[in-house]
Structure 1
Amino acid sequence: MSDHRTQFEATAGGLALTNAILLYRSQPIRNASPYATARAGAAAFASIHAIEHDDEGKPIIGAGTSLSRAHLRQWTEALGRTVLPEFLPDNVLVAHPDMLAWWIPTQVRPAYFALTDPPAGLQVLAARTTMPVPYPPHLFIATRSGFGVYALPANERPGIDTPVLHSPVLNVYLDGQLCWGNIPKPKTLTTASIPEFERGVFDSWSTHPNPGQELTITGKGGLVRLWDDLAARKAKRFPVRRLRPFDPGRTRQASRRATRTDQMTLGKLLARGANQ
């Protein structure tokens, strides 16, 4: 069994160990990390304790009381004073310790294609190649548990009610999550890490559509042939009208039954991300 120890020492800022918070949860998962959060639906309880000292001056946990919202506000405010202010670029929508969301406008940029099983009749993408292609405006939502990639219907900053579309990028799963492959993942959720996230989307090799991606666009030919056509004619604008509204459980039948009220919006995506 590993031995987890934490050593507290006085600092130049005069910090001293004053309190301890104990966390309780029902039916802990066997072999789970001691630092894992309680699973959904599990009962949980927390208590806060003063730190006392024995005759030798060693800290011990004293009697406690239930952790209240007032305690949480007090400690959140105190901890927040150590967070440095951050300048937010115009394209950032949400900047939070657990979520980073931003958008980028439509643009033409190099794309990397190395299709493992290219369909017959492709004009330029049958062989490994790098070609400039147009991308629609994109929305990105990074959380502690994943990185979502979506397209937007208009080349403007989205609002809470803006509908979200499936991204045509081949390395994106049907649920909007990026397939990282062997690309290093950013370690932080700060505006400084935005270029790293975007490199994961745009600077990786596209080898094949992910399962279900052919259902994310309208019209004939499929997603690979659409990219092939755009690359072959050196298009400057992506046909956003061909992208379907984002639906992580999309099927052909569900696609026909979808109504306007079913549409996923930026606000709904942010709410989903906050609950992950």
Structure 2
Amino acid sequence: MALTSAILLYRTERAYGAESYGAARDAAAFASIHAVEQDADGRPVIAAGTPLSRAHLRQWAEALGRTVVPEILPANILVAHPDILAWWVPAQVRPAYFALSTPPKGLEILSARTIVPVPYPAHLFVATRSGLGVYALPVNRRPMADTRLLHSPILNVFVEGQLCWGNIPRPRALAVASIPDFERAVFDSWSTHPNPGQEFTVTGRGGLVRLWDDLAARRARRFPVRRLKSFDPGIRRQGRRTSAEPMTFGKLIERTMR
């Protein structure tokens, strides 16, 4: 490929920040498109330009789109976008990794470092360039836009829904091919302690640690989804719902894309 054109972006000085390539929503903006010429030494030089039009944008968007390789999406993919990838995982029994730093007294299985099969509820994953959201689903089927979300019972998930990465390797690309890496980060990492506020995300006595211990001791085959509370990112502060409206899959995607 050869360098043929340059686009220069302008915005009001008060909205400028060296740390960001985006424009503030209330900032005035202007763009121009320029041919790139060669000087006597063969170095590229930006020539005089013209205002960037929507026609220019359409032409370049079409050209850039031709470089994207078509991808056949698996059935579990819900949203595939350059900035967000969402998919769901059915409920299943799988190995869980527990190494509690301060296990409470009376545990049957999780008082020592162990790998034990436990049932997981169906889960929703929402990966962005800044993190991975992890949420439980109320039923074991593909979620729709109006599907209500639940707090995930996984100990490595913050009450706000984001995975606590710690020293877990992060996938390098936000792509369908990276889904196994994201899932390994969630399901194949060691759980050492509940995160602050997780005691408010589940009903019943003993919290999440004792719930997992009970499931492991009984060799349970199904997770008691009824014990998980509706997802509310503000629950950490008060221990009760901060919004009267339940968070749905559709609302979460809208909120993530803002």
* Alignment TM-score, normalising by the size of structure 2: 0.92
Query: Which secondary structure state, in structure 2, belongs to the residue aligned with residue 227 of structure 1?
Result: helix
Q: 1:122 & 1:165 partners in 2: Cα distance?
A: 26
The partner residue of 1:264 within 241, 247, 254 is 247
Q: What is the Cα deviation at residue 57 of structure 1?
A: 5.2
Which stretch of structure 1 is more off in the superposition, 160-169 or 49-58?
49-58
Q: What is the Cα deviation at residue 258 of structure 1?
A: 4.5
Which stretch of structure 1 is more off in the superposition, 46-55 or 109-118?
46-55
Q: Does the 8 Å contact 1:174/1:212 carry over to 2?
A: yes
How do residues 205-224 of structure 1 correspond to structure 2 at under 5 angstroms? 205-224=190-209
Q: 1:223 & 1:47 partners in 2: Cα distance?
A: 56
Q: What is the Cα deviation at residue 100 of structure 1?
A: 0.9
Q: 1:253 & 1:214 partners in 2: Cα distance?
A: 11
Q: 1:206 & 1:48 partners in 2: Cα distance?
A: 52
Q: Does 1:240 align with 2:228?
A: no
Q: CA 1:17–1:256 in structure 2 vs 1: closer, same or farther (change >3 Å)? A: closer
The partner residue of 2:59 within 74, 82, 92 is 74
* Cα root mean square deviation, aligned: 1.9
How do residues 32-47 of structure 1 correspond to structure 2 at under 5 angstroms? 32=19, 36-38=20-22, 40-41=24-25, 43=27, 44-47=29-32
Counterpart residue number, 2:90:
105
Letter in 2 for 1:271: E
Q: 2:68 & 2:211 partners in 1: Cα distance?
A: 46
Q: 1:151 & 1:239 partners in 2: Cα distance?
A: 12
Q: Does the 8 Å contact 1:115/1:207 carry over to 2?
A: yes
Query: Which secondary structure state, in structure 1, belongs to the residue aligned with residue 235 of structure 2?
Result: coil
Q: Does the 8 Å contact 1:215/1:252 carry over to 2?
A: no
Q: 1:69 & 1:272 partners in 2: Cα distance?
A: 28
* Percentage of matched positions with identical amino acids: 69
Query: Which secondary structure state, in structure 2, belongs to the residue aligned with residue 234 of structure 1?
Result: coil
Counterpart residue number, 2:175:
190
Q: 1:153 & 1:53 partners in 2: Cα distance?
A: 61
Q: CA 1:204–1:126 in structure 2 vs 1: closer, same or farther (change >3 Å)? A: same
Structure 1: runs of 5 or more not aligned = 1-14
Q: Does the 8 Å contact 2:145/2:248 carry over to 1?
A: yes
Q: What is the Cα deviation at residue 199 of structure 1?
A: 0.3
Query: Which secondary structure state, in structure 2, belongs to the residue aligned with residue 71 of structure 1?
Result: helix
Q: 1:166 & 1:188 partners in 2: Cα distance?
A: 26
Counterpart residue number, 1:22:
8
Q: 1:37 & 1:270 partners in 2: Cα distance?
A: 23
CA deviations 1:201-224 (Å, max 9, x no partner) are 000000001111111111221111
CA deviations 1:79-115 (Å, max 9, x no partner) are 1111111121100111122111100100000000000
Which stretch of structure 1 is more off in the superposition, 242-251 or 41-50?
41-50
CA deviations 1:24-71 (Å, max 9, x no partner) are 3434336x3xxx323644624332212234455543212223333332
Q: 2:242 & 2:39 partners in 1: Cα distance?
A: 69
Q: Does the 8 Å contact 1:152/1:165 carry over to 2?
A: yes
Q: 1:117 & 1:80 partners in 2: Cα distance?
A: 52
Q: Does the 8 Å contact 1:110/1:132 carry over to 2?
A: yes
Q: CA 1:69–1:175 in structure 2 vs 1: closer, same or farther (change >3 Å)? A: farther
Q: Does the 8 Å contact 2:93/2:117 carry over to 1?
A: yes
Which stretch of structure 1 is more off in the superposition, 174-183 or 107-116?
174-183
Q: Does 1:180 align with 2:165?
A: yes
Letter in 2 for 1:267: G
Q: 1:135 & 1:203 partners in 2: Cα distance?
A: 13
Query: Which secondary structure state, in structure 2, belongs to the residue aligned with residue 47 of structure 1?
Result: strand
CA deviations 1:117-145 (Å, max 9, x no partner) are 11111111111111100000000010111
Counterpart residue number, 1:6:
none
Q: 2:143 & 2:114 partners in 1: Cα distance?
A: 33
Query: Which secondary structure state, in structure 1, belongs to the residue aligned with residue 240 of structure 2?
Result: helix
Structure 2: runs of 5 or more not aligned = none
